[in-house]
Amino acid sequence: MFLRSLQRFSAAVFSALRRGLFGCGKWIQARPRLAAWLYKTGSADADYREFNGWYFAHFNEQEKMLADRPRMDFYHAAVARHVHPGDRVIDLGTGTGILAVFAAKQGAAKVYAIDHSEILKHARRLAAHNKIEHVEFIATHSRDFVTTERVDVILHEQMGDFLFDEAMVPNVIDLRDRLLKPGGQIVPALFEFFCEPVKVKDDRHIPFIWELNVHGYDYSCLERSRPQDPQYYQHASCDLDVIEHCLGQPEPALKVDLQTLREADLPRELHLKRTVIHAGRLDGFAVYFRALVDGDLSLSSSPLDRGRAPHWGFRILRTEATTYAQGDVIEFTLTVEQWAKPDTWRWHQQKI
């Protein structure tokens, strides 16, 4: 009897506590400045460092990247061409050490293999097991890495699904400006960023809820309750069967060359125009990238490319369905507050 009352009492206390905490959480989230201070969100850099620390520490992320054949073949060929015997090399974000090892096998005199994630302890063990020499593993964030000599080559694989969302630009530029010899190489350095209008296959297309009418049941009134969460407007996928076609002829929306880029050069607004060659419904803009080395080696995350590197996802920046006829022109504007934070990207399209 006593036990049952105690049980009921504790259930009531926990339930009140849970309701209280939930209410308190909502109250804090409604005050963005307080929320930012309490949850320590804010700069893309701080968020990225924290996320990275645990994300890449696990084998399952590393194994997806290592099993990605187009990715590994691209890097193997690029390192073979650009690392020469006697070179000094930095491998920014070495992970399991694979790019550092490619460089060592090319005869590099010294490879600084740096990573801020716990994965580094496994990288050290792997190199010892494989009897790799001339690679020094350094557990640090690249911004804190210093050496007395400049290097000939900086290797990196810092591309996110949105290209810029793993802080590739600031991290590579920082090392380039501090530690790359004049005339030294960044591999890879050239990138093309795409934002292409696409039609999703009818059986895969998920409209916004307010666009739906299910057997006569009309959802249009929910348009007034559009979610505020930016992620609601982005669809993430790795599935090549999602997209039916691009409405226009794909062209890079932006090209960057890390050898020369300054962060301030990145535009805050992109304007694209595409003349429709495949008529049909526009469901959104597919975001993907291509990395290029020497003009003939390339690594693609395009959902339309069968030879793409499979472990990268691509994103669709969703738009309300609009039907386009052949010859129509789609005008698209992407406004970016921070390239490394796709939640700050906003877009709109119109027919002209």
Ligand X SMILES: C[S@@+](CC[C@H](N)C(=O)[O-])C[C@H]1O[C@@H](n2cnc3c(N)ncnc32)[C@H](O)[C@@H]1O
Residue placing its CB nearer to ligand X in the complex, 14 or 51: 51
Q: Are 283 and 316 in contact, with CB atoms under 8 Å apart? A: yes
Distance CA 22, CA 26 (A): 6
User: Does the footprint of ligand X cover residue 93 (CB under 6 A)?
Assistant: yes
Which of these segments, 79-87, 115-123, 177-185, 335-343, binds ligand X (CB under 6 A)?
115-123
Nearer to ligand X, 45 or 305 (CB): 45
Q: Which stretch binds ligand X (CB under 6 A): 82-90, 108-116, 202-210, 245-253?
A: 108-116
- Smallest separation, CB 332 to ligand X (Å): 29
Tell me which residue of 291, 199, 284 sits closest to 236, measured CA to CA: 284
Phi-psi region for residue 319, left (φ > 0), alpha (ψ -120 to 50) or beta? beta
Residues 326-345 that bind ligand X (CB under 6 A): none
Q: Candidates 111-119, 146-154, 268-276, 342-350: pick the segment binding ligand X (CB under 6 A).
A: 111-119
301 binds ligand X (CB under 6 A): no
Closest distance of CB 119 from ligand X, Å: 5
Q: 83 or 98, CB closer to ligand X?
A: 98
Q: What's the start-to-end Cα distance of the chain, in Å? A: 76
Of 89, 110, 117, 135, which one interacts with ligand X (CB under 6 A)? 117
Q: Which of 312, 292, 288, 316 is nearest to 302 (CA)?
A: 288
Region near ligand X per CB under 6 A, out of 109-117, 237-245, 288-296, 336-344: 109-117
* Minimum CB distance to ligand X, residue 272 (Å): 28
Nearest approach in angstroms of CB 340 to ligand X is: 11
Shortest distance, position 146 Cβ to ligand X, whole Å: 13
Which residue, 115 or 196, is less far from ligand X as judged by CB? Answer: 115
Listed in sequence order, the residues at least 6 apart from 37 whose beta carbon sits closer than 8 Å to its beta carbon are none
**Contact indicator for 179, 266 with CB cutoff of 8 Å:** no
**188 preceded by cis ω (within 30°)?**
yes
E-state strands within the chain? 88-92, 110-115, 135-139, 151-156, 180-187, 190-200, 213-214, 217-218, 234-237, 243-246, 254-257, 269-275, 280-293, 297-300, 314-324, 329-336, 345-351
Residues 124-143 vs ligand X: string with x where CB under 6 A?
Answer: -----------------xx-
Q: CB 266 → ligand X: shortest distance, Å?
A: 18
Residue by residue, DSSP assigns 152-191 as: EEEEE---BTTBSTT-HHHHHHHHHHHHEEEEEEEES-EE
Residue 117 Cβ, how far from ligand X at the closest point, in Å?
3
Based on CB atoms, which residue is closest to ligand X, 160 or 284? 160
CB nearer ligand X, residue 124 or residue 141: 141
In the numeric block, the tokens 């990196």 are attached to: 156
Q: Which of 89, 108, 114, 282 binds ligand X (CB under 6 A)?
A: 114
Q: What is the C-alpha separation between 197 and 303, in angstroms, rounded?
A: 12
The single-letter code of the amino acid at 211 is E
Residue with the two structure tokens 């990238």: 289
Question: How many residues make contact with ligand X (CB under 6 A)?
Answer: 17
**Shortest Å, Cβ 145 to ligand X:** 7
Phi and psi at residue 114, to the nearest 5°: -115, 140
Q: Give the SS3 label for residue 282.
A: strand
- Residue 56 as a binder of ligand X (CB under 6 A): the answer is yes
Interface contacts to ligand X, rule CB under 6 A = 52, 56, 65, 93-95, 98-99, 114-117, 119, 141-142, 157, 171
